[in-house]
């Protein structure tokens, strides 16, 4: 049985062969959003899946000195959610970022503007790109 | 990997318990304080080394923020603030960044965060 309330398969950041590891959302995190009526991030759990299935880059660390062992998965979903079920087109010029703790727990997820010089990396997060999709 | 259909079913069978109300949450594992004033489609934008803003995709208004490395701030807080009844108002956290603001945009954003926190009577989680 999975330790996650919602489990996802993601590319292992440190494996050049591209093997997968299981990451996920803990039940307490899901329940908090549910109890607070916070429907936008709830709906965007579908974008977490989109991003982990079609990752364009993986960033090491969260641009914080004590978070070097965390990861950020970056994707470009074609859609967004304004609530748990209200689907809309993705905001233009944005990337979706899934922040993951070292043990695989997904901590939060959000849109962020893409960098001007590197469209596969979110603004202000380009210091440590550890993997990017091969476009050839 | 959860399938799209499974995720839709999880969301459908676990609807919101109550309508949205502004809230803040201390995440000790991530050492971050998450603050949400409104339930609106948003994106994130870094304000400074500690604060990331959540801005409305519709009108760029602040709908919340994330404060990183919050444990150090909370550890220092009793040296500056004492309270006798109830909790500490969240707005004081934003005031702590005010002196380090190096642009008018940063000062405006911090003031807006403090104003929203005060308006919604938000207190730091115990």
Within-domain flag for A1: no
Tokens of B117: 């926190």
The chain B residue lying nearest A52, using CA atoms, is B1
Q: Which residues pair with A87 in a beta bridge?
A: A81
- Domain total in chain A: 1
Shortest Cα–Cα distance, A82 to chain B (Å): 5
Shortest Cα–Cα distance, A37 to chain B (Å): 4
User: Residue B111, Cα to own-chain centre: how many angstroms?
Assistant: 14
> Which of A49, A66, A99 comes nearest B7 by C-beta?
A49
pLDDT tens for residues B18-77? 999 999 999 988 899 999 999 999 999 999 989 999 999 999 999 999 999 888 888 887
What residues does each domain of chain B span? 21-119
Burial of A117 (0-12, 13-18, 19+ CB in 10 A): exposed
Structural domain range at position A52: 6-131
pTM of the predicted structure, to 2 decimals: 0.92
Chain B residues with CB inside 8 Å of A99's CB? 30
pLDDT tens for residues B76-116? 877 777 665 557 888 888 888 888 888 999 999 999 999 99
Chain A residues with CB inside 8 Å of B27's CB? 107
Within-domain flag for A136: no
Q: Is A45 on the interface with B (CB under 8 A)?
A: yes
């Amino acid at each position: 049985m999975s330790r996650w309330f919602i489990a996802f398969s993601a590319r292992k950041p440190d494996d050049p062969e591209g093997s997968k590891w299981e990451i996920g959302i803990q039940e307490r995190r899901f329940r908090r959003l549910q109890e607070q009526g916070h429907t936008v991030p709830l709906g965007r759990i579908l974008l977490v899946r989109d991003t982990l299935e079609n990752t364009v880059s993986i960033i090491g660390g969260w641009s914080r000195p004590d978070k070097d062992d965390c990861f950020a998965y970056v994707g470009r979903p074609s859609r967004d959610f304004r609530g748990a079920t209200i689907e809309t087109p993705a905001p233009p010029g944005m990337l979706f970022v899934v922040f993951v703790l070292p043990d695989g727990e997904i901590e939060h997820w959000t849109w962020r503007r893409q960098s001007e010089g590197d469209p596969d990396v979110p603004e202000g997060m380009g210091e440590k790109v550890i993997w990017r999709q091969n476009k050839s | 990997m959860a399938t799209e259909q499974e995720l839709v079913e999880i969301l459908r069978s676990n609807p919101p318990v109550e309508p949205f109300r502004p809230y803040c949450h201390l995440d000790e594992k991530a050492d971050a304080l998450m603050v949400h004033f409104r339930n609106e489609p948003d994106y994130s934008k870094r304000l400074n080394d500690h604060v990331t803003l959540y801005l409305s995709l519709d009108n760029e208004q602040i709908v919340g923020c994330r404060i990183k490395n919050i444990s150090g701030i909370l550890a220092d807080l009793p040296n500056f603030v004492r309270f006798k009844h109830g909790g500490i108002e969240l707005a004081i956290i934003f005031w702590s960044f005010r002196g380090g603001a190096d642009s008018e945009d940063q000062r405006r954003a911090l003031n807006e965060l403090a104003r929203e926190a005060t308006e919604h009577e938000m207190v730091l989680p115990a």
